[in-house]
């Protein structure tokens, strides 16, 4: 392939349309993806692609041995009355929810969200959001808390042992600081109304001798499977959260969509805002300046098509908005197969044998390791997507053109 054909998408001719999509085509009219081949230049956005057999989550260092659970006296009862605490230097720039988890290890995620939502937690006398960041010296008013004091030491219960086994089966990569899980479709990341099992709850089984548990670094939708990054230490949590905030993390998703996008690669740029209803909430395409609207950018590339009715697309989100990929693909009229919220094609029937489940996989994540180097992990196709790939004759080891899409 000529050097000219490998130019980044952002430098090719682009044109907008009423749907907010900037598109790019190969000037030779070949119809082939024009993001270019594997990036061999120094400082490429993604490391060169390795064969599928080699592209596994190999630890960058030897995993830390399982901690020895020592018998220790239970900690004193945690306070359950109104109190005011001052943010320390070590807690500077920490998110409100992480601050509460750090100060009160037994506090559940749902309880944190509840006291914040009700305005019971105040920073310098003002209401706070769980994502707000604290500054050294600020006063935080904490309401009475209902705490589940963590068990320290001793034998794990039968249920906790089973949970730990389930988590171990999901691990794609692990070292002393970081863990990447292959989250199955249908398992929620965090709790919600009527939610009895979720990853955040399961991580309780991995609390260490000090009562600290591994922490979520990002989120996946309940029906989305694939790479879920977990920080095992506070140090790692701070570093990894910073990488997401500064967009140093690169993520690739695979999806099966209705129809074949034309051209076969492009950039979707819109504003998204949450739209609430009595039954559910979705993200709608909004105008700049609308209340709650946030800018969202996604690159897409068609990897392979099936009879012009379905297409395997690779997606690279630049931003990380709620339901971004699902809303964006529906916006360009190529909704993801099996999406109960955004698939709105009338009289459209799935080919025989394909399950009506969300066909979206968090395929690959590349992010700087807190102690140097990179974490680079891929997840396999979940069973329902593997079945669809086999039925449609799609080759899962094909080169993924999205790897060389721009980062902005």
Give the DSSP letter string of 54-90: T-S---SSPPPPPPP----PPPPPPP-S-EEEE--GG
Share of the chain above pLDDT 70, in %: 76
pLDDT at 57 over 70: no
Residue 160's pLDDT is 83
User: How does residue 43 score in pLDDT terms, banded at 50, 70 and 90?
Assistant: very low
Q: Is the domain of 227 the same as that of 257?
A: no
Stretch among 146-155, 282-291, 376-385 having the lowest mean pLDDT: 146-155
Q: Is the domain of 167 the same as that of 238?
A: yes
Residue 154's pLDDT is 53
The answer to whether position 29 is within a domain reads no
The answer to whether position 127 is within a domain reads yes
pLDDT at 33 over 80: no
Q: Is the domain of 193 the same as that of 311?
A: no
Q: Is the domain of 256 the same as that of 234?
A: no
CB 128 within 8 A of CB 121: yes
CB 362 within 8 A of CB 245: no
Tens of pLDDT along 170-221?
999 999 999 999 999 999 998 766 677 899 989 988 887 777 789 999 999 9
Residues designated as active site:
221
Q: Is the domain of 203 the same as that of 109?
A: no
Cα angle: 143, vertex 146, 147; to 5 degrees = 115
User: How does residue 78 score in pLDDT terms, banded at 50, 70 and 90?
Assistant: low
Q: Is the domain of 173 the same as that of 128?
A: no
pLDDT at 45 over 80: no
Q: Is the domain of 388 the same as that of 299?
A: yes
Residue 9's pLDDT is 45
Q: Is the domain of 172 the same as that of 297?
A: no
Q: Is the domain of 337 the same as that of 322?
A: yes
Q: Is the domain of 183 the same as that of 253?
A: no
CATH value at residue 186: 3.30.2350.10
Tens of pLDDT along 350-393?
888 899 999 999 999 999 999 999 999 999 999 999 999 999 99
Number of domains in the chain: 3
Q: Is the domain of 327 the same as that of 387?
A: yes
How far is CA 221 from its chain centroid?
Answer: 8
* Last residue within a domain, chosen from 114, 140, 166: 140
CATH value at residue 97: 3.10.290.10
The answer to whether position 327 is within a domain reads yes
DSSP per-residue letters across 317-351: ESS--TTHHHHHHHHTT-PBTT-TTT---TT--PP
CA distance 192 to 186: 14
Residue 15's pLDDT is 44
Average pLDDT for the chain: 80
CB 218 within 8 A of CB 324: no
pLDDT at 104 over 90: no
pLDDT at 55 over 50: no
Q: Is the domain of 345 the same as that of 310?
A: yes
Count how many Cα atoms sit within 13 Å of the Cα of residue 356 in the half-sphere of its side chain: 6
pLDDT at 169 over 60: yes
If one compares 30 and 384, the residue with the highest pLDDT of the two is 384
Domain range enclosing 100: 81-140
């Amino acid at each position: 392939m000529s050097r000219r054909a490998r130019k980044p998408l952002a430098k090719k001719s682009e044109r907008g349309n009423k749907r907010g999509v900037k598109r790019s085509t190969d000037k030779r009219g070949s119809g082939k993806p024009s993001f270019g081949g594997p990036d061999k230049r120094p400082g490429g956005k993604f490391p060169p692609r390795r064969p599928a057999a080699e592209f596994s989550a190999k630890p960058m260092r030897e995993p830390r041995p399982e901690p020895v659970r020592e018998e220790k006296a239970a900690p004193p009862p945690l306070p359950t009355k109104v109190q005011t605490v001052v943010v320390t230097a070590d807690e500077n720039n920490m998110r409100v929810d992480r601050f509460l988890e750090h100060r009160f290890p037994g506090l559940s995620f749902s309880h944190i969200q509840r006291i914040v939502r009700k305005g019971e937690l105040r920073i310098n006398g003002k209401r706070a959001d769980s994502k707000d960041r604290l500054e050294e010296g600020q006063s935080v008013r904490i309401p009475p808390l209902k705490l589940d004091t963590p068990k320290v030491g001793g034998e794990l219960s039968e249920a906790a042992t089973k949970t730990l086994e389930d988590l171990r089966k999901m691990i794609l990569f692990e070292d002393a600081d970081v863990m990447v899980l292959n989250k199955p479709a249908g398992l929620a990341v965090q709790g919600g109304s009527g939610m009895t099992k979720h990853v955040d709850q399961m991580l309780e089984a991995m609390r260490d001798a000090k009562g600290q548990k591994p922490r979520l670094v990002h989120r996946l939708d309940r029906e989305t499977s694939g790479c879920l990054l977990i920080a095992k230490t506070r140090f790692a949590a701070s570093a990894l959260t910073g990488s997401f905030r500064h967009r140093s993390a690169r993520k690739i998703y695979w999806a099966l969509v209705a129809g074949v996008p034309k051209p076969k690669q492009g950039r979707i740029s819109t504003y998204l805002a949450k739209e609430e209803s009595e039954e559910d909430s979705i993200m709608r395409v909004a105008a700049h300046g609308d209340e709650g609207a946030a800018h969202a950018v996604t690159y897409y590339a068609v990897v392979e098509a099936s009879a012009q009715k379905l297409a395997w697309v690779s997606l690279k989100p630049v931003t990380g908005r709620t339901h971004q990929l699902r809303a964006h693909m529906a916006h360009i009229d190529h909704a993801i197969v099996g999406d109960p919220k955004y698939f709105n094609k009338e009289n459209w029937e799935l080919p025989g044998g394909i399950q009506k489940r969300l066909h979206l996989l968090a395929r690959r994540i590349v992010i700087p390791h807190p102690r140097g180097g990179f974490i680079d992990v891929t997840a396999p196709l979940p069973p329902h997507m593997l079945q669809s790939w086999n039925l449609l004759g799609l080759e899962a080891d094909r080169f993924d053109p999205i790897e060389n899409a721009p980062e902005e």
